[in-house]
Each structure stands twice: as C-alpha cells, then as structure tokens.
Amino acid sequence: MTDVNVKILSELSAEARAALVQRSESDLSFFLEKVDPIIEAVRTEGDAALVRFGRELDRAEGLTAGNLKATEAEFDAAFDAVAPEVIEAIRFGINNIRTFHEEQAPEPMWLKEVRPGAFAGDRFTPINSVALYVPRGKGAFPSVTMMTSVPAVVAGVPNLSILTPPGPDGGVDAATLVAARLAGVDTVYKVGGAQAVAAVAFGTETVKKAQKIVGPGSPWVVAAKRRLGGIIDPGLPAGPSEVMILADDTVHGGLAAMDLLIEAEHGPDSSAWLVTPSRRVMEEALAALPDLWSKMTPSRVEFSQKVLAGPSGGIALAASMDDAIAFVNAYAPEHLEILSTKAFDYLGEITEAAEILLGTHTPVSIANFALGPNAVLPTSRGANTYGPLSVSDFVRRSSIGYVTAKGYPEMAQAAKTLAEYEGFSSHANAVSDLRKTYLPE
C-alpha cells in the first residue's frame, strides 16, 4: 500500500504544525520569474504569441491565429458531440446555480433615511467586462464554466468571455462549449495559462481586453494574476484544489477516506487532509484507501497518492474535537466537509472555511456540480478574508447620498465642525453660510 502521511497533532511543535497549513502555491517565486517573458511576449506580439505558446505549452498543433475564438459552428457541433445525459446534468446544475445566485443578487439600489431629510444607500451596477478562466490541464471542467458564467450573467455583465486552454486539435472541450451556451456566454477563446491572463489584461488582435478575470488555475495562472494585478483585477485567489474532511466518531472512516479523495484526485499540487480525534476513524480510513483506489482511473490514483503521501495531504489525528476544529480554522480550507451525524453542533465553531458542507450526504461532488452555491473558492488560506465567487464579484458598488433642504442644516453643522477641526477650510466653507449665497431663495 502507498504510504499515507499521518500526523499526530499533539506530538508536533508549533513550527511543524504551522508547516502543515502551507499550500503548493504558497511560494510562487519560481513561477513569478517564469511568467514574465510570457507576459511580455503577449503584450508585444499579441495573437502570434498566443498561438506559439498554445503550440509549445498546450501541444495544440491545430491552433492558428484564425481559430483562437470558438465559432458558432463549434458550439453547434458540441451539442452533437456531448451525450444527452451529460447535457441534462449540465442543465440541471445550471438551473440550481442560477436559482441560488438570483437569490443572492443585491437589490439594484437602496436608500435609507439616516436622519430626517438625509438619505444614504448603495447602487449596484455590473462591471463592463469580465474574463472567466476555465482550466483544462488535468481534465475538462464544464462545471467551472457553469460556476463562473451563471453569476456573471445574473449580474448583467455586458461583455463576458471564457478563456480555456486548447486541445491538441486546437479545439475547445465540447462540454465546456455546451455549458457556456446554456449559461448564456457566447465568446470563448482558446487560450490558457499565464498567456491567457496577459491576453485579457492587454488585449490582442482577437482577444478583447477585460477589466477583471476570475476562475481557478494553476500556479502559472496565479502568478500571472499577481504580476498583472495593477492592470487587471485578478479576482479572488483560486489556485489548486484543496479539501479538509473533519470527522468525529459518529461516522465510518471509509466514508471519510472516500470524500478525502474527491479533491485529492485533481492533481499532485492539490491539498487534502482528514482531521479527526478518533483513532478508529483514522484506521478505518487507512484500511479503506486501497479498495477506493482500485475503483479510480489510474491517472487519478497517481495524483491522489502523491497528495496523501506528500506534505500537502494525509491524515491528522487530533487530541480532541476542539483540537481538530482549531486545526481546521488555522488551515482555512477551500472545501470543508463536516462528517458527523451532529454536524450542525460544530458549525458555530468553524470560522475559517470558504465552503462548509454538513453531514454524511453532502460530499464535495454534489457542491461542485449540482447544489447551487459557487464552487469557485479562495485557496491557500484565502478564506481568511475572501468568500466564494458570487454575484457581488461581477458588480461594482456606488454609494448614494441625497440631503434635502430640510435635512441640510443638521448635517452641515456636524460636517463644518469636523472640517474646521481637521484644518480643511474649503470643506468648511462649502457647508457654511457662504452656501446660501449661491442657492435660490
């Protein structure tokens, strides 16, 4: 059996315990250096650089400057290429995702009378242009298309585009095109990696410049977003997948092992931890893994075994449930499953997690594909300050103020007093008796 990384938390020093929360992209220095020439080439050469990198890095020999953008014919052909049951599953997921995000959407504007005659509020308007990144390096992800496209469409973004790496023939994954059309996005560019981020940051002959880019990606994509953060809004930090399974002694360890593998199979740069205070759960999980691996695709077995044997995954045995929860909060996972028959009892103690899935019938699989809440989530402890991708990520908020003649005197007096204290004479003059000189009687 493949060795699985097992840590006894009570035996670790503070430094060793802190090291467990590190992620694959915590140190991006290698990638930051490597993306610089890619970014510069795209900035100066445009489409020519995108085609060259597509062929060199994505092995897309069929990619040309003339087919960087998916055509209507390609969209139509995708519906013929994808099995009807897959199309229906995409449609099912999109309907739930749309229902969730329509409920989440803010009111276009609200105003509250904060004092008699003085009103303040917010107005929300869609961002003009947003690019949606859909990875493809270790598989095809129409689910990411669904999760990024639907809230953007609900928000009313007028200019949306999808960026996804091309296949060997220069084409786009068919299910991704199906998901894009069903979600309401009709612009798909065959560009991936750091070059995709650069393309929408600067614009090329084919790829339109965008104000923001959202969606998960490899460390190359994350590094490019950091480099170009002053030119394009990079959105929330969404890197390689990570999961934490918090299990108490009310569940079977085999169930915990099964769900642990969900995100571990994404790739060797993923992170996956089972944390439990129960030695029985730990031993049952270890015993179940060989059989679970035998039921997986060989390439995914290899990915998950590397994760669980490496520094970014395994099983952590806690001294108590409180100790386990403390580890979860320190880790701030992207996906958190609370496997317990009393999962709601622990919910109030979880403060640092982007997604919290409760009970034995809510695996990450359901959340990723069908439930409705967004599965594009902050990684690498981004849950400390970020939440899931939402409609709010696709709108801009403007504060609204309106003071009537009735409400003005009280507001003006308070403002004048503070303006004079801070030494701003023009601020004070604007709310002094001088104002009456320019107002109609």
Q: Per-residue pLDDT for 403 more than 80? A: yes
Total residues belonging to the chain: 441
By mean pLDDT, which of 69-83, 247-261, 292-306, 394-408 is the weakest? Answer: 292-306
* Domain range summary for the chain, segments of one domain joined by +: 6-24+240-373, 29-106+126-237, 405-438
pLDDT digits (tens, 9 = 90+) for 301-323: 999 999 999 888 999 999 999 99
pLDDT digits (tens, 9 = 90+) for 66-92: 999 999 999 999 999 999 999 999 999
Q: What are phi and psi of 308, to 5 degrees?
A: -75, -15
Instruction: Please tell me which of 54-58, 118-122, 132-136, 383-387 the model is most confident about, judged by mean pLDDT.
Output: 118-122
Report pLDDT for 41: 97
pLDDT digits (tens, 9 = 90+) for 275-285: 999 999 999 99
- Do residues 396 and 127 make contact, with C-beta atoms less than 8 angstroms apart? yes
Partner residues linked to 123 by β-bridges: 109, 398
Q: Which of 101, 335, 337, 355 is catalytic?
A: 335
Token output for 216: 């998960």
Higher pLDDT, 24 or 270: 270
Q: 6-24+240-373 and 29-106+126-237 share one CATH topology?
A: yes
SS3 255: helix
- The answer to whether 266 is a known catalytic residue is no
Q: How far apart are CA 60 and CA 72, in angstroms?
A: 20
Report if pTM > 0.75: yes
Q: Does the domain spanning 6-24+240-373 belong to CATH 3.40.50.150?
A: no
Nearest to residue 186, comparing CAs of 91, 270, 70? 70
Token output for 400: 């609204």
Token output for 110: 């609200």
Q: At which residue do the structure tokens 């014919």 appear?
A: 73
| CATH T-level assignment (fold) for domain 29-106+126-237 | Rossmann fold (3.40.50)
Nearest to residue 102, comparing CAs of 155, 158, 146? 155
Token output for 294: 């035998």
Q: What are phi and psi of 307, to 5 degrees?
A: -65, -50
SS3 221: helix
Token output for 343: 């999962």
Per-residue pLDDT band for 139 (boundaries 50, 70, 90) equals low
Per-residue pLDDT band for 266 (boundaries 50, 70, 90) equals confident
Mean pLDDT for 113-117 is: 96
- Do residues 290 and 392 make contact, with C-beta atoms less than 8 angstroms apart? no
- The answer to whether 252 is a known catalytic residue is no
Mean pLDDT for 380-393 is: 92
Per-residue pLDDT band for 24 (boundaries 50, 70, 90) equals low
Q: Per-residue pLDDT for 425 more than 80? A: yes
Q: Which of 334, 361, 422, 441 is catalytic?
A: 334
Nearest to residue 325, comparing CAs of 340, 310, 307, 305? 340
